[in-house]
Amino acid sequence: MTSPHVAPDSPGAILQLIRSGQVSSRANLAKRLGVSASTAGLRIQVLIDQGYVHEVEDGQPRGGRPPRRLMLRPDWGQVIAVDLGSQHATIGQFDMGGRLIEEWESMPIQIDAGPDIILKWVGEAIENQGSPPDQLRGVALGVPGPVHVNKSRVVSPSRMPGWHGVNLRVHMTHYGPKVSVLADNDANLAALGEQDADPVDHMVYVKAGRGIGCGVIVDGRLHRGSVGAAGDISHLPVPGREDVECSCGRNGCLDAVASGAALVRDLLAAGIDVENPADVVALAGDADPTATRLLREAGRATGELLATVVNFFNPDALVIGGQLSRAEPFVASVRAAVFECCVPTATEKLRVRASHTGHRAGIRGGARLMIDHLLDPVRLNEVIDG
Ligand SMILES: [Zn+2]
């Protein structure tokens, strides 16, 4: 979709037409813009000269020159997406077509070491393992806490002590002005990554890992709300669970009742030795009755709360991601509670399913966010004019 301030024959608008598949040749473009073939050729040449677009031979010639197809150049640059969790980070290197070139999975970190140590580590990890600096166009950063999206500022994160008020973009400026930096909440990015893999118009993506987060897709786009807090269900109260204290200072929050961290706490209290949510999922995989029961209860609490969201918002898909999505008792209980508690019209077309993108949801969404930003028509016209 093109913004109204973008002239339809500007480079940004034309790139958008090529990217979306609406225009695939010079002749297509001439027809679309109502201009001569030579004018269309000049417009295309700007994008070819700047390295954004190339022409590839397309099919068999029907006499004369073979037909040529306009395409985005995936090698125009690279972007890096960083998904920071509480204890692990995943980094992915992508081309401009959104193809994953290389991935570094589950690198151990401690997010509560604070922004100075963690963001320095991120910088070093990118420099040691990422793309050559002249190829790098953007870095997208996902964090497990609320991010005020215009200011890239972390806001009151319950699982990130020491990060409140930190401006992530300012901390990442050492790449210079040629490298864009964007930051967002990890569940928002994961929702975007899932949407990229399996597009639907309206989606609620729940990241059920050590904490519980949620991202919302409306009309195919990430919905952030007024300041970036849309979808934040972590500290909604679970009825009847006022006995459980939450790190936010209140009682009975979903995060304190049904998150991976809560399950680890409850299993330890039951005398079962676990360290992290992956251990809980593994125990349930071995049919451990306590782990299975706790996962079912957590799934039910999460599903009952999400039923309100589904009734209100009427999504096409409710996608469960994060570590707990690997536990069938959790996903099945969410599904059962949602279908039980919702009005029938809200669930008529609803799919409740585990994530297709798994641990890559966040980096895939980060890459998508950054590529959309870099190829945004308004921005591109400024870059090309400048
Ligand atoms: Zn809370």
Q: What is the pLDDT of residue 174?
A: 75
Average per-residue pLDDT in the chain?
Answer: 92
Tell how far the Cα of 249 is from the centroid of ligand 1, in angstroms: 6
Tokens 């979808």 belong to which residue?
A: 231
Tell how far the Cα of 87 is from the centroid of ligand 1, in angstroms: 20
In this model, does residue 130 exceed pLDDT 80? no
Element (DSSP H or E) covering residue 107: strand 100-108
Nearest alpha carbon to residue 102 among 132, 141, 124, 134: 132
* DSSP β-bridge partners for residue 252: none
- At 72-115, the pLDDT tens digits run 999 999 999 999 998 899 999 999 999 999 999 889 999 999 99
Tell how far the Cα of 19 is from the centroid of ligand 1, in angstroms: 43
Structure tokens at 6: 């973008």
**pTM confidence score:** 0.92
Q: What is the dihedral of CA 349, 353, 358, 361, to 10 degrees?
A: 30
- For residue 314, give every residue at least 6 positions away whose Cβ sits within 8 Å of its Cβ, in sequence order, or none: 202, 345, 346
Tell how far the Cα of 86 is from the centroid of ligand 1, in angstroms: 17
Amino acid identity of 6?
V
Average pLDDT over residues 56-80: 84
**DSSP character at residue 237:** B
Average pLDDT over residues 367-383: 93
- At 249-282, the pLDDT tens digits run 999 999 999 999 999 999 999 999 999 999 999 9
Yes or no: say if 183 and 143 are a contact pair by the CB < 8 Å rule. Answer: yes
Integer Cα distance of 48 and 46 in angstroms:
5
* DSSP β-bridge partners for residue 297: none
Decide: helix, strand or coil at residue 222.
strand
- Collect residues with CB below 5 Å from ion ligand 1: 235, 246, 248, 250, 253
Q: What is the pLDDT of residue 386?
A: 64
